[in-house]
A and B are shown apart, each in its own frame.
Chain A
Amino acid sequence: MKKINWGYLGSLCISVLLAFAIGAVILAVAGFSPLQAYGAMIDGAFSNARHVGDWLEYAMVLCLTGLACVLGSRVGIFNVGGEGQLLLGAVAACQVGVWLTGLSAWIVIPAAALAAMAVGGLYALIPGWLKVKVKVNEVITTIMLNTIAASFCQYLAKGPWKNPNKNMVAATAQLDTRYWFTNLIPNSNLSTAIIAAAVITFLTWYIMQKTSVGYEMKLTGQNPRFAFFSGIKTDRLVILCMVISGAMCGLVGMFRVYGVEHLYRSSISNQYYFEGLTVAMIAQYNPVTVIFLSFFFAILKIGAQGMELSAGVPNQIYLIIQTVIIFFMAAESGIFASLRAGAMRRRARADIRRKGDESHA
């Protein structure tokens, strides 16, 4: 971990540049000036403090969800169910705030955070337990549980926990304003939640990279049989990591409610966990890389929205660029391995020829 993986960094930069180049071609074909569009993108992200706040908040979401995914993959379990855990955490945290209305924020906010983590964690326990005890593929269970969670939250928001205001469809009651997280940049999404997020990010990184538990997690993910053989309680570790991963997702849901929306509705998360998961995959599950890439993609996304407003370019260009980067990063190992092998073969052949010439001479 002390060493920087230059090969990976190089591939990433090349992938990003190629992605922008391909994006430029598409823009040009569609009749936009690529330079102008990219200019508008940078403008959209940085020209306005509100936008800066928005992408900082979005980066926080990507970073926490991405790390939640990394945490699972560290022990060899692929949590695809973060979206459901996030939604359930959000709705639970929101309703706790509604129920406890009148109490001090010092009670309500911790209670809501605990509720969000408990609900997200327990919801992740289901696929974790099934994977460890009966070897059910967690990817399938978590994807299905996502759908169940989304529908269930929608039901709560339309039914039992519905907003008393008749004009609000599919939303829960709003939180009392004194429980709202303080806004750090006026009118933006950025709230004090980012401080908590920074602490959680640091802790996650620290535990994974610097502790004996993190070491055991890594071994379990690399070779579970070896980890079990060496005496590590792998089943417990896998379930624990899955639960923490779910709890982190639940907490992100709470941050979205208390920091931005102040009530639960489905726009709390627009498949944000999957964007975080994408970041984790591009980062090859390296926590530090996840942090940096979260900022990069957040800037890109908010910038693309600004670009749409000012230059009229559809912000889907963001998706194109993101997808192309994923494509190249996925192909990276194959492409680079074959290039390297080719170079080595040529060098070996040259060595043999040279040796032959020397011995003939």
Chain B
Amino acid sequence: MDEIAVRFEHISMAFPGVLANDDVSLDIKKGEVFALVGENGAGKSTLMNVLYGINTPTDGRVFIKGREMTDFDPKTAISMGVGMVHQHFMLVPSFTVAQNIVLSREPRKGKVFFDNAAAQRKTRELVEEYGLEVDPAEPVEELSVGLQQRVEILKTLYRGAEILILDEPTAVLTPQETDELFAVIRRVVREKGMTVIIITHKLYEVMAISDRVGVMRKGALVGVRNTSDVDERTLASMMVGRPMLYDELEKTGAPGDVMIQVQNLTVRDNRGLTAVDGLSLSVRAGEVLGIAAIEGNGQSELIEAITGMRKIESGHVTICGQDATGLSPGAIRDLGLAHVPEDRLATGLSRDATVTDNLLTGKQRRPEFNRFRFHQRTSTIERYARELYEKFDIRGAGTDVTVGSMSGGNMQKVVIAREFSFDSPVLIVAQPTRGVDVGAIEFIHSRIIARRNAGCAILLCSADLDEVFRLSDRIVTLYEGKITGEYTGPYSKQEIGLGMTGARHDGKEAAS
């Protein structure tokens, strides 16, 4: 049991301007589940990319099963028994499961032709050997995200992996799928003696699955513990480097008038397929309505339709009592809506513009920022930007730098600062803390609740279920563009998980 599977010796990894790994030494034992935790940018993925041969370390050595890694490229790493499942799957959607699994090492007929039967047979053998149930003949695009992940794992096993790296594997899974994944991990570790390294920032998962846990902060490994010796609070403090306060968010006031009203809304996605299907919902003033859904079930399209970013096929949207159906984003904002979009880089920011310019957006025509509604009052604008910068605790090199040079968490704070400072009666918040570190999450959550307590109607959409649970007064689950259930606290994770996979709240299975 104490055989060493991987040894990192004094690994340092420098990228232009940052030291992503700072003298990391770590032993990972054969047959254990090792969790690597840390905030975003702490260097977890960098370290694992070294092991998988994507990064060549600036300094230090890596040993796999006692053999030193000399060439750093994925091919070598794979041949030494390392497999990695990335956060974003690398599968060919139109290929079958078997074709994906054997890709790059295809069985051949007469050295030339692809042998599909052999591929299916080999896949079936793998499936049976590891007990990872999946149909080899099914095209990957037909599979759920959880099953696609299973295909990724099978792919690494096919290539002979004994050390499996999982990068944020549960980010896209429902609670049920997460449980299944953990069962799979336990099985491959117990029965096949594999070593699993799991990168995550969900601490309860660390507690649930790992034997040992390593905490990284600012590129350095700050501690390795037996999971049984620590609790979530200790880990969180190690991650941020100061004691963490999990303050209970204080929610005050009672819901008021209906501010967002969506009636029988139907919206198509980019491929022209129905993404939101006759959906109705309403949000009252002083209330947070959370949407719980697996990615791709229409939540993005719903929000885009409400905010005017996407064409509405049929149905109505009412904001603050006024019809907002089919208006432009600008006109809807004028009705009293502010919007934190799910993808800050594509929609929420201009990365080439300065922090000041990004904070000003939407208010540039206001009289206080313009002489004769035309000539910009530069000093007033700069002062205003600095105020918001302070108020929203943005940390960076000031307001004159481009937003693109900031960390994800600070970029998100720029978006939050801008949108929350409209003091609008309606707020749409999508993925407010995606890729944001723990300290900033606390801050953003408290800001959202502050707006709620001030009487703002908030529609929240997040892939992070814990976030939805924590902030929402009410939750609806969305599946294939339809609402499958409505819940008020105390929430049951299992029940909501079922709603997210299409089982109706009343117990009946949803159509299709």
B351 within 8 A of A: yes
Q: Which chain A residues border B376 with CB–CB below 8 Å?
A: 210-212, 215
Chain A positions 203-236 with a Cβ under 8 Å from a chain B Cβ: 210-213, 215-216, 218-219, 222-223, 225-233
Indicate if the CB atoms of A212 and B369 lie closer than 8 Å. yes
Q: Which A residues lie within 8 Å of B330 (CB)?
A: 230-233
Q: Which residues of chain B have C-beta atoms less than 8 A from A230's C-beta?
A: 329-330, 333, 361-362
Binds A, one of B8-16, B145-153, B195-203, B451-459: B8-16
Would B349 and A223 count as touching, CB distance under 8 A?
A: yes
C-alpha spacing A213/B346, complex, angstroms:
22
Say how far B9's CB is from chain A's closest CB, in angstroms.
12
Binds A, one of B352-360, B475-483, B489-497: B352-360
Given A228-B329, A352-B14, A356-B10, are A215 and B360 neighbors across the interface (CB < 8 Å)?
yes
B242 contacts A by Cβ under 8 Å: no
How far does the alpha carbon of A210 sit from the alpha carbon of B377 in the complex, in Å?
9
B-facing residues in A126-148 (Cβ within 8 Å): none
Q: In angstroms, how far is the closest chain B Cβ from the Cβ of A194? A: 26
Question: How many B residues are at the interface, by size bracket?
Answer: 35 or more
Q: Is the interface of A mostly helix, strand, loop or mixed?
A: helix
Q: Is B108 an interface residue (CB 8 A)?
A: no
* A344 and B17 within 8 A (CB): yes
- A230→B364 CA distance, assembly (Å): 10
Closest B-chain residue to A337, C-beta based? B16
Inter-chain contact total with CB atoms closer than 8 Å = 96
Enumerate chain A residues within 8 angstroms of B357, measured Cβ to Cβ.
215, 218-219
Q: Do the beta carbons of B352 and A229 come within 8 Å of each other?
A: no
Give Cα A210–Cα B370 distance, bound, in whole angstroms. Answer: 10
Are B329's CB and A348's CB within 8 A? no
Closest approach, in angstroms, between the C-beta of A212 and any C-beta of chain B? 5
**Structural contact, B14 and A345, CB atoms closer than 8 A:** yes
**Is the beta-carbon distance between B333 and A231 smaller than 8 angstroms?**
yes
| Chain B residues with CB under 8 A of A348 | 14-16, 19, 58
Q: Which of A210, A231, A340, A351 lies in contact with B329, CB distance below 8 A? A: A231
A345 with B16: CB separation less than 8 A? yes
Q: What A residues does B309 contact at CB under 8 A?
A: 228-229
Q: Considering the chains assembled together, what is the distance between the CA atoms of A192 and B194 in angstroms?
A: 83
Assess whether B353 is in contact with A219, with CB atoms less than 8 Å apart: yes
Interface size for chain A: under 10, 10 to 19, 20 to 34, or 35 or more residues? 20 to 34
Asked if B350 is at the interface of the complex by the 8 Å CB criterion, the answer is yes
Tell me if B's interface is mostly helix, strand, loop or mixed. mixed
Q: Does B270 sit within 8 A of A, measured CB to CB?
A: no
In the complex, which residue of chain A has the Cβ closest to the Cβ of B343? A225
B362 touches A226 (CB 8 A): no
When distances are taken between beta carbons in the complex, the residues of chain B under 8 Å from A223 are: 346, 349-352
Whether the Cβ atoms of A211 and B12 lie closer than 8 Å is: no
Within 8 A of A (CB), among B371-418: 373-376
For the complex formed, measure the closest distance between the CB of A210 and the CB atoms of chain B, giving whole angstroms.
6
A345 CB to nearest B CB, Å: 6
Q: Is B512 at the interface (CB under 8 A from chain A)?
A: no
**What A residues does B362 contact at CB under 8 A?**
230-231
Q: Mask for A190-208, Cβ within 8 A of B = 1, else 0?
A: 0000000000000000000
Give the Cβ gap from B398 to chain A, nearest Cβ, in Å: 13
What string of 1s and 0s marks CB contacts (under 8 Å) between B322-355 and chain A? 0000001111011000010100001111111100
When distances are taken between beta carbons in the complex, the residues of chain A under 8 Å from B352 are 222-223
Give bound CA distance, A353 to B328, whole Å: 57
Contact B329 A352 (CB under 8 A): no
The answer on a CB contact under 8 Å between B16 and A212 is: no
Considering the complex, give the chain B residue whose CB is closest to the CB of A353. B59
Q: Is A341 an interface residue (CB 8 A)?
A: yes
For A344, give the chain B residue with the smallest CB separation.
B16
Question: Given A212-B376, A229-B347: A222 and B14 within 8 A (CB)?
Answer: no
CA distance A353 to B361 in the complex (A): 45
Question: Considering the chains assembled together, what is the distance between the CA atoms of A213 and B372 in angstroms?
Answer: 12
Q: Output the least CB separation between B378 and chain A (Å).
A: 8
> Is A229's CB under 8 angstroms from B341's CB?
yes
Bound state CA distance, A345 and B19, in angstroms? 10
Q: Determine the residue in chain A with the shortest Cβ distance to B16.
A: A344
In the bound complex, residues from chain A placing their C-beta under 8 Å from that of B14 are: 344-345, 348-349, 351-352
Q: List 9 A-B contacts (CB under 8 A).
A: A215-B364, A223-B352, A229-B309, A233-B328, A340-B16, A345-B16, A345-B58, A349-B14, A353-B59
| New A-B contacts (19) at CB < 8 Å, excluding given A231-B330, A340-B16 | A210-B375, A212-B376, A215-B357, A215-B364, A218-B357, A219-B353, A222-B351, A225-B346, A226-B349, A227-B350, A228-B328, A233-B330, A344-B17, A348-B14, A349-B58, A349-B59, A352-B12, A352-B14, A352-B58
Closest 7 CB pairs of A and B: A231-B330, A348-B14, A344-B16, A222-B350, A223-B350, A230-B361, A341-B16
